[in-house]
Structure 1
Amino acid sequence: MLTSHTKEAEKFSFDEYAAIAAALQPYIDAARTGNGSGMRHVWFDHAHIVGSLDGNPINVDAEAFCKFIDEVGGSPDVQARIVSIDYQGNAGSAHIEFQDWGGARYTDFFVLYKQDGQWKISAKVYDSHTRN
């Protein structure tokens, strides 16, 4: 993101990255705990999740995805790493890598939007690596 080089601009930029990471944290926590309901608030109502799992295409809304996480439970040993966060104005994107979420590796890409001062997830696409 191109910004002016002032202390104020640098602080704002750092704060926005931290705010996006904070918006993603309940999702990361849900992978570990299996509490899908606890992450529902980070998704817009219109949000969709698209990918494939075990050869089956997946295209579900946020409500169904959160219920699925509630049903399958958590992976206490999952490792998660935010690889990248980028934003311009109120539009953002993020990339998270998961290892050993339910025994599999996942690469997740998110589209986020900042509305009323809050970053929320608008969409997620993912790759389930060996479980595609």
Structure 2
Amino acid sequence: MSNPIYVHEYNAIVEVLNKYNEGGAKADSAIMKPAFSEQATIFGIDSDNKLVGGPIQGLFDTIDSTFKPSPDAKAAIVRIDIVGTAASARIDTNDISGFSFTDFFNLLKVEGNWTVVNKIYHTHATG
């Protein structure tokens, strides 16, 4: 069997992504903030099919002002792809303040620690 060189890295990334998931479920950006680089960005498409987003602080502001704790929230880390100091991940989330999302994250290992540098998302129609 070959050496599973990314097992440690995979587990470290899961730990970072779980901060995001917990912060969303508890509607508390302070929990998720350590998962992100201060320079991170977030982008998505609004209901008019226009690009929205910018600095990650926009996510934190939305979490704290609009979201409510969601004890029934479900999140699944669908995939993590790692090459050296770069990684991408996908999370599918249901029942976060009445929303369901698919999020795509880009991460970099900076000074020995994984951090999210970009998030793009799709909001699923409810109903």
1:126 aligns with 2:121: yes
From 88, 96, 105, the counterpart of 2:83 = 88
**Which residue of structure 2 lines up, in the alignment, with residue 52 of structure 1?**
45
Moved over 3 A (4+): 53-57
Alignment TM-score, normalising by the size of structure 1: 0.85
Residue 68 of structure 1 aligns with an amino acid whose one-letter code is T
**Which residue of structure 2 lines up, in the alignment, with residue 115 of structure 1?**
110
**Which residue of structure 1 lines up, in the alignment, with residue 23 of structure 2?**
30
Identity of aligned residues (%): 31
Number of equivalenced pairs? 124
1:101 aligns with 2:92: no
Q: 1:39-81 CA deviation, whole Å, 9 max, x = no partner?
A: 1121112211111344464213112211221112322211100
Alignment TM-score, normalising by the size of structure 2: 0.88
**Which residue of structure 2 lines up, in the alignment, with residue 18 of structure 1?**
11
Measured in 2, the distance between the counterparts of 1:57 and 1:30 equals 24
The unaligned stretches of length 5 or more in structure 2 are none
Which structure has greater helix proportion? 1
Measured in 2, the distance between the counterparts of 1:104 and 1:64 equals 17
Q: Which moved more, 1:51-60 or 1:76-85?
A: 51-60
Measured in 1, the distance between the counterparts of 2:46 and 2:101 equals 10
**Which residue of structure 2 lines up, in the alignment, with residue 62 of structure 1?**
56
Measured in 1, the distance between the counterparts of 2:122 and 2:107 equals 18
**Which residue of structure 1 lines up, in the alignment, with residue 65 of structure 2?**
71
Contact 1:78 1:100 (C-alpha < 8 Å) held by counterparts: yes
